[in-house]
Structure 1
């Protein structure tokens, strides 16, 4: 994956982490509907079009609501945030390797 694709992934993951944190913060707010960003479909569309990702926050009506109308779960949000953190860290490592390869190619004949 080129640096441009990695940059897109970091942008989407950052925004998804913000949305999941909002869900966690509102886990006790009556009638709050969980929100999410479908990372894989957003990235696929952005890479297919070779453009900036269209980050659309979607309401999650598939998760059953509690008696107060809220459908968030702190455990689920923390689990999803952990997955985002892992993907973010992995993406940063891939970007660092890509940059190291480019740096090596640039400076190869100068030593």
Structure 2
């Protein structure tokens, strides 16, 4: 019986991809904290994961690489963050404290996802080798 690794780990792999993309966006926000007129952006993780789930459930099988793909391959919709602080006069909407906290939270969740996948891989390896190293 063949093991479908995409079914086993595909959704979690996609979550790590979205978290990586989100880290880059948040890092860009922090880098532009003092840039006049810069608008803070973020990726809606929940929307991106719903899109990934929908994509997985409705993915079409292609018989040739030249055929059009049946599912969107995007990681998530990049959106502007709604500012929580009053305008400082320069039009910049980056709140450094919120960005740092979001960056740390996203990093911890990324690490947890990596640990989860690592555990799955170790379990598969143990099942294949019969528990012997």
| Counterpart-to-counterpart distance in 2, 1:42 and 1:109 | 37
Deviations 1:59-93 (A, max 9, x none): 22x21533110110111110000011110000000
> 1:20 Cα shift?
0.2
Rg (Cα) greater in structure = 2
Higher helix share: 1
Q: RMSD of the TM alignment (CA)? A: 2.0
CA separation of 1:110/1:79 partners in 2, compared to 1, >3 Å: closer, same or farther?
closer
1:55 is matched with 76
CA separation of 1:105/1:69 partners in 2, compared to 1, >3 Å: closer, same or farther?
same
| Counterpart-to-counterpart distance in 2, 1:110 and 1:19 | 43
Contact 2:42 2:79 in 1 (8 A): yes
Structure 1 window deviating more from structure 2 (31-40 vs 100-109): it is: 100-109
1:88 is matched with 110
Runs of 5+ consecutive residues of structure 2 not aligned to the other structure: 1-6, 57-70
> 1:32 Cα shift?
0.5
| Counterpart-to-counterpart distance in 2, 1:109 and 1:36 | 43
Q: After the TM superposition, which segments of 4 or more aligned residues of structure 1 sit over 3 Å from their partners? A: 51-54
1:65 is matched with 87
Contact 1:33 1:72 in 2 (8 A): yes
Give the TM-score, by structure 1 length: 0.88
Contact 1:43 1:53 in 2 (8 A): no
Give the TM-score, by structure 2 length: 0.75
